[in-house]
Each structure stands twice: as structure tokens, then as C-alpha cells.
Structure 1
């Protein structure tokens, strides 16, 4: 089989490529240091399975996955990540990712995943599935709207005018948001909500 490893950390990428080449059924391993390089390689080479890091410069793992799907490539896609973020996982699921697994696994585990997707099956790390299933958003629709405007850099006054609220009401919403997210300040609240994909 022919593989592609797209990973921006050079030591990790080189080690992964070398270990995969030791496997009996691996003929070739292409390496890419970012998502755009991965796409350029995929335009030229026929690859059975692309192993993509989630966060890379220029283009991310999900960007490459969406490009593969848009161009009707038969390449199977395994996304590996250290991030248990729901937003990334949901985006990958929407693009029909074949496997979405956490990085802390052995080469034999990764090879098992590769064989699973080549057999036409899917594999998702249980921790990620549980996160999507049980991590419910505590913010009301209105609180999400207020926090989304905070994320865009709006002041309380601008939020009040845009949503036809009083300044005091916006302050009350912000207090509730900080309490629900256990956040120290507005910036912290935005970060937490983005990580958990709670901004609607």
C-alpha cells in the first residue's frame, strides 16, 4: 500500500515514516510538512491512505480531507490529533473521514486502523465520540449570540445596540456566561466556548 504522512513536526513525521516503511505491506510513504504540500502530492501520486495531522500550517487536516472528498479521490483518510475538540471532530465527520484517532498510540495500532479503513470500515476514538455525545452546551441561544459578538471584538455597548438590549442586560448575560463556563474573563470565555464548539 502507498501512504501519505502529513505532519508539521519534522521529528515526528520522519519517525512515523520510517516506522511505517518497516511494515511488510507498506510499499511507499510520502511525507508532507503541511496541508498544502499534502494536496500537491495527492495531485501527482496515487495514495491509498492519507494520515493527516489536524493542525498544520497553510492548510489543516480537515482542509486536506475536504479537498480529497471534493476531488473524488479514493484515498482513505486517517486524521490523528492530540486535540479532543468537538468542532474539529464534527467537521471531519461531516466530510466523511474514515478514521479519527488520538496520537498517543503505537504503530501497530495505527496499522490496524489503516487496515480497518482499507476494508471499508470507520474508526473513531471512543473519547472523541463520548465528547460529542455528552458535552452539552450550557449556554442559552441568547448567551451564545452575546459571546459570539464578544469573539468578534464587540464592546458591551455595541452588543446592546445590535441585540436591542440594555447595557445592564448585556452585563448580566456576561456574568452568567462567565459563571457557566467557569471563565476568568471575556477572552477566557471565548476560548473555552470555541474549544468546545459552543458558539453556535
Structure 2
């Protein structure tokens, strides 16, 4: 029996997925969570074989949770579900050592098969997502610039980002100017939108 933990914040979607997966003779949903912050503590309690995680969760997003999950419980396989085919997300998922990555609107039978494959140690990536990632551009931002933009997207001001990243306020402002230029954005908000749409954030 494959023990599955499911993280999905939309109640109806989560309920439907649990009901469908529990119909499978070899799969049992042993835990369900709605917030990314609950993923690691819940996994430590129930020890699932596979964690099926929505990429967009309140609290920690699915990819951040995956990294923490692999540190805390290296034996758990992870399958990311996304409703958005942002190619950059696939790259982020693969670098986070995700075992599977598929679209949320895939048929239930496909999800069950993906869980079985992931549990067996095989990597599963939706072919549509793989093709769009293959065709997409790499992020023009450096790791440091990406971090500055990510903190900006969380509502932090230049002074807060400076103290968090051990930089001067002027350096943070310079980074933001460079980011806006590289992304050909109108302003910070536009830069955040462009980077999110491309899956770079």
C-alpha cells in the first residue's frame, strides 16, 4: 500500500483528490494539509511514501516545502501538482529534487499512475510541461537579484531587504534598478509579474 500525504489549499479540489485516490486499491491518503507550513511536521508524524503537493500554497509554497521535506525526511518521494504551466517552475522543481511534476487538470488515472511511478523511484514529468520548459528562456537574473526580487514580492522594503541580506540600502536599490532593466519592466510590480509569469520566482 502506497501511503500518500496531500497538500492542497482548495477544499473542494483536495476533497475530490482524496476521494479519487482512496478508490485505488494500492493507494491510501494518510494525511491532508491546506498550508505549506504544515507539510514537514505532518510528514514527520505520518511518514508517507509520497507527498503530493500543490505548488501554490499559503504559508510556504510547494517547492520551498519540498526542499525542507527532503532535508527532514530524505526517503520521501515528492510529486508537485501545478495549475500553471510556467516553464520556470519545472526547472525550480527539478533543482529541488522533485520526483514528479504534473498539471493539476490531468485525469485522475494519470495522477494515480504518477504516484505509483514516483513511489517506485521513477521520475515523472508531464510531457506538456517538459516541452514548454524546453522552449522557454532561462532567467536573466542572478541568484542574488532573484532573491532581492523575491523579498520585494513578499512586501519587504529596501531597508528590510538590506538588513536580511547583509547589504547596504543603496546596493539593494541598485539591484532593483538592474532587475527592472533586465526584465524590461515598467517598475518593481511589473518586474515581479514578469518573473512570476516566467516561473523565475
The equivalences for 1:65-144 within 5 A come to 65-136=66-137
Q: Secondary structure of 1:8's partner?
A: coil
Distance 1:188 1:94 in 2: 26
Q: Give the superposed CA RMSD.
A: 3.2
Q: CA deviation at 1:27?
A: 3.5
| Per-residue deviation, residues 56-78 of structure 1 (Å, max 9, x unmatched) | 11111112211121124311111
**TM-score (normalizing by structure 1):** 0.73
Q: Is the 8 Å Cα contact of residues 20 and 29 (structure 1) preserved in structure 2?
A: no
* Structure 1 range deviating more: 18-27 or 95-104: 18-27
Residue 21 (str. 1) matches residue 55 (str. 2): no
Q: Structure 1 stretch 81-90 or stretch 1-10: which is displaced more?
A: 81-90
1:1-200 counterparts in 2 under 5 A? 1-136=2-137, 162=174, 178=184, 185-186=186-187, 187-197=189-199
Shift of 1:5: 0.8
Aligned partners of 1:138, 1:93: CA distance in 2, in Å? 15
Q: d(CA) in 2 for partners of 1:62 and 1:198?
A: 12
5+ residue gaps in structure 1? 164-169
| Larger Rg belongs to | 1
**Relative to structure 1, is the Cα distance of residues 198 and 54 closer, same or farther in structure 2, using a 3 angstrom cutoff?**
closer
- 2:13 & 2:84 partners in 1: Cα distance? 16
- State the shift of 1:198 in Å: 6.0
CA offsets 1:104-143 (integer angstroms, 9 cap, x no match) = 112111011011112221011122222222212596x8xx
5+ long unaligned stretches in structure 2: 159-169
| CA drift at 1:98 | 0.6
Question: What CA distance in whole angstroms lies between the structure 2 residues aligned with 1:138 and 1:66?
Answer: 20
Tell me how far apart the structure 2 counterparts of residues 59 and 106 of structure 1 sit (CA, whole Å).
Answer: 26
Distance in 2, matches of 1:58 and 1:120, equals 28
Q: Could you state the TM-score of these two structures normalised by the residue count of structure 2?
A: 0.73
